[in-house]
Amino acid sequence: MKNKKISVIGLGKLGSPMVASFAAKGFNVIGVDTNLDSIHLINKGMAPVFEPQLNEYLHANHKRISATDNYNTAIANSEISFIIVPTPSDKEGAFSLKYVLEVGKHIGGALRKKSDFHLVVLTSTVLPGATEKELLPVLEFHSGKRCGRDFGICYNPEFVALGSVIKDIFKPNFILIGESDPDSGEILTSFYKTICENNPPIARMNFVNAELTKISVNTYVTTKISYANMLAEICEHLPGANIDIVTSALGLDPRIGPKYLKGALGYGGPCFPRDNIAFAYLAHRLGTTAMLAETTNLLNKRQVPRLLKLIKSKLSPKGKVGILGLAYKPNTDVVEESEGIGLARSLIAEEIPVMAYDPAAMKNAKKVLNASIIFTSSLKECIQQVDIVVITVPWKEFKNIQPEQLARPNNKPLIVIDCWRILDHKRYKEVVDYVPIGIGS
Ligand SMILES: NC(=O)c1ccc[n+]([C@@H]2O[C@H](COP(=O)([O-])OP(=O)(O)OC[C@H]3O[C@@H](n4cnc5c(N)ncnc54)[C@H](O)[C@@H]3O)[C@@H](O)[C@H]2O)c1
């Protein structure tokens, strides 16, 4: 398997780590993108996107990596091609196949000139029906070849989390494969046996079941997150209740499990919110409803207003608020659908002065927030100038804040709203007015 050559189409947040990880396992990998800057960086062994370990992996394996904008070169010189281009949500909530089908045309054209069998793997998130009804006909039309005979297709979505993509590629919880034919599924299965370090279960099925499974996983996880958030809100109104105590016991039940059961802020990022909406859209398209997905979405949208209400109840007139955390989670610079950004927007709308700091996402946050917010260059600078600090992301840097950093020279203590309960309240209660989310007073 290791002498197989791989191409990866789309060198973004997922595609670049895939290139690096596959090369680290000994494969020769050709990356393809329309963005010449990404191609240039990959060819120099440098990361085109922010992702922990990516630079190191690209650099260490650059002998086996090349990047180009030429599909013919990539397809002619590889046996398996992964498509990992954007599938942006349209206004109804469905995933647009614009980029996937554009790539399909190019791959089809390149396959026309190739006599060997080629495996096309669609990794981008799509809705049920997309692989068989949309990509397959485009590939057959432009190649003049037959799927299952001259080339194969697998739908193989990723379940990685930004911030730990490389680790998750090597140690996935499971591998999901929708296959056009058993041989194609077998090729991809053998490939993953070389890539994965943890011998994960591999679920093989037809396209439509794999497509449905992909968004079902994300919808289920968001339901769990929202359940814990709902519970946290109840705890806040119940004297003596503590969300951490309740969820740590809940998680002991193997039918529930401890993961994603924190009770903090809403979920964000480029996948969870839109996958949930797409799931509800799919149900409507099929003439039914996905009430749980719709309610989960509503619960998620409730988290920032809930936090805003709490902040306003504590803030003195003309008081300033500092937001610690603008990325949608730690270890990423992505701010899409981030709760910190949502909170900043809500505070600005209420004309409350806002300062903000994030260890990695300042550049991206500046692009989406207007000038009414002050971005500080350090954690210290943010803390010193505000009346309330809200910890919206459990970054390691914030967990390491020392009590003396929060102490005020005057008698008025700083109010710290800790959405993730990352500070040990016993160490901080002497110096600040500590307000954890999810704890009944
Ligand atoms: N980011 C995640 O956490 C994550 C997780 C699971 C699934 N996904 C899915 O993976 C897909 C890609 O996501 P991403 O976050 O890597 O996107 P991204 O926007 O970070 O990167 C996409 C890349 O594709 C390139 N591209 C666009 N059109 C192209 C074309 N015609 N030919 C070649 N390259 C082209 C872009 O230039 C860009 O570099 C989406 O469907 C997304 O839903 C993402």
The total number of structural domains in the chain stands at 3
Indicate whether 117 and 265 sit together in one domain: no
Tens of pLDDT along 388-402? Answer: 999 999 999 999 999
Indicate whether 172 and 34 sit together in one domain: yes
Indicate whether 284 and 312 sit together in one domain: no
Predicted confidence at residue 382, as pLDDT, reads 93
Indicate whether 30 and 153 sit together in one domain: yes
Residue 152 buriedness (CB in 10 A; 0-12 / 13-18 / 19+): buried
Residue of 401, 344, 353 lying closest to 378 (CA atoms): 401
Predicted confidence at residue 312, as pLDDT, reads 97
Tens of pLDDT along 184-209? Answer: 999 999 999 999 999 999 999 999 99
Q: Are 179 and 188 in contact (CB under 8 A)?
A: yes
Among 267, 301, 335, the domain-final residue is 301
Dist. CA 20–CA 27, nearest whole Å: 10
Q: What is the mean pLDDT of residues 408-428?
A: 88
Tens of pLDDT along 286-303? Answer: 999 999 999 999 999 999
**Ligand 1: nearest atom to the Cα of 157:** 7
Residues in contact with ligand 1 (CB, 6 Å cut-off): 9-15, 32-35, 38, 84-87, 99, 102-103, 124-125, 158, 160, 162, 270-271
Expressed as residue numbers, the domain containing 236 is 215-301
User: Does any domain span residue 76?
Assistant: yes
Residue 47 buriedness (CB in 10 A; 0-12 / 13-18 / 19+): buried
Separation of first and last alpha carbons in the chain: 60
- With 90 as the cut, is the pLDDT of residue 408 above it? no
Residue of 268, 213, 270 lying closest to 84 (CA atoms): 270
Among 205, 223, 238, the domain-final residue is 205
Indicate whether 307 and 297 sit together in one domain: no
Indicate whether 193 and 260 sit together in one domain: no
Predicted confidence at residue 2, as pLDDT, reads 67
The secondary structure of residue 422, as a DSSP letter, is: -
Residue 115: which residues within 8 A CB-CB, separation 6 or more? none
Mean pLDDT of all residues in the chain?
Answer: 96
Q: What is the mean pLDDT of residues 86-105?
A: 97
User: How many angstroms is it from 223 CA to the middle of ligand 1?
Assistant: 25
- With 70 as the cut, is the pLDDT of residue 321 above it? yes
From residue 300, how far is each of 94, 128, 174 by CA, in Å? 19, 25, 27
User: How many angstroms is it from 86 CA to the middle of ligand 1?
Assistant: 4
- With 80 as the cut, is the pLDDT of residue 26 above it? yes
Helix (H, G, I), strand (E, B) or coil at 215: helix
Q: Are 185 and 222 in contact (CB under 8 A)?
A: no
Phi-psi sector, 8: left (phi>0), alpha (psi -120 to 50), beta: beta
Indicate whether 183 and 274 sit together in one domain: no
Q: Are 166 and 21 in contact (CB under 8 A)?
A: yes
More confident residue, 409 or 225: 225
More confident residue, 441 or 35: 35
Tens of pLDDT along 233-267? Answer: 999 999 999 999 999 999 999 999 999 999 999 99
- With 90 as the cut, is the pLDDT of residue 113 above it? yes
User: How many angstroms is it from 68 CA to the middle of ligand 1?
Assistant: 16
Alpha carbon 263 to its chain centroid, in Å, reads 19
Tens of pLDDT along 149-164? Answer: 999 999 999 999 999 9
User: Does any domain span residue 411?
Assistant: yes
Predicted confidence at residue 370, as pLDDT, reads 75
More confident residue, 441 or 66: 66
Dist. CA 222–CA 97, nearest whole Å: 24
Indicate whether 414 and 432 sit together in one domain: yes
User: Does any domain span residue 262?
Assistant: yes
Dist. CA 193–CA 213, nearest whole Å: 21
Q: Where are the beta strands (DSSP E) in 138-201?
A: 151-155, 175-179
User: Does any domain span residue 40?
Assistant: yes
Q: What are the two backbone dihedrals, phi and then psi, of residue 391, each rounded to the nearest 5 degrees?
A: -90, 105
Best of 7, 8, 11, 13 for a ligand 1 pocket test (most atoms within 8 Å of beta carbon): 13
Indicate whether 334 and 273 sit together in one domain: no
From residue 238, how far is each of 23, 232, 341, 422 by CA, in Å? 53, 10, 29, 21
User: How many angstroms is it from 244 CA to the middle of ligand 1?
Assistant: 36
Dist. CA 102–CA 138, nearest whole Å: 9
Q: What are the two backbone dihedrals, phi and then psi, of residue 269, each rounded to the nearest 5 degrees?
A: 90, 180
More confident residue, 431 or 101: 101
User: How many angstroms is it from 283 CA to the middle of ligand 1?
Assistant: 25
- With 80 as the cut, is the pLDDT of residue 61 above it? yes
Among 245, 272, 301, the domain-final residue is 301
The secondary structure of residue 171, as a DSSP letter, is: S
Indicate whether 279 and 329 sit together in one domain: no
Q: What residue has token string 């013919």?
A: 72
Best of 8, 33, 134 for a ligand 1 pocket test (most atoms within 8 Å of beta carbon): 33
User: Does any domain span residue 441?
Assistant: no
Best of 38, 71, 84, 335 for a ligand 1 pocket test (most atoms within 8 Å of beta carbon): 84
Q: What is the mean pLDDT of residues 211-240?
A: 97
Predicted confidence at residue 412, as pLDDT, reads 81
Q: What is the mean pLDDT of residues 357-378?
A: 93
User: Does any domain span residue 25?
Assistant: yes
**Ligand 1: nearest atom to the Cα of 35:** 37
Residue 400 buriedness (CB in 10 A; 0-12 / 13-18 / 19+): exposed
Tokens representing 113 are: 């000139």
Indicate whether 224 and 142 sit together in one domain: no
- Of all residues in the chain, what percent carry a pLDDT higher than 70? 99
105-119, 127-141, 151-165, 358-372: lowest mean pLDDT where?
358-372
User: Does any domain span residue 163?
Assistant: yes
Indicate whether 96 and 232 sit together in one domain: no
**Ligand 1: nearest atom to the Cα of 11:** 39
Nearest CA to ligand 1 atom 10: 124
Tell me the sheet residues that pair with 81. Answer: 7, 120
Predicted confidence at residue 3, as pLDDT, reads 74
The secondary structure of residue 316, as a DSSP letter, is: P
CATH classification at residue 413: 3.40.50.720
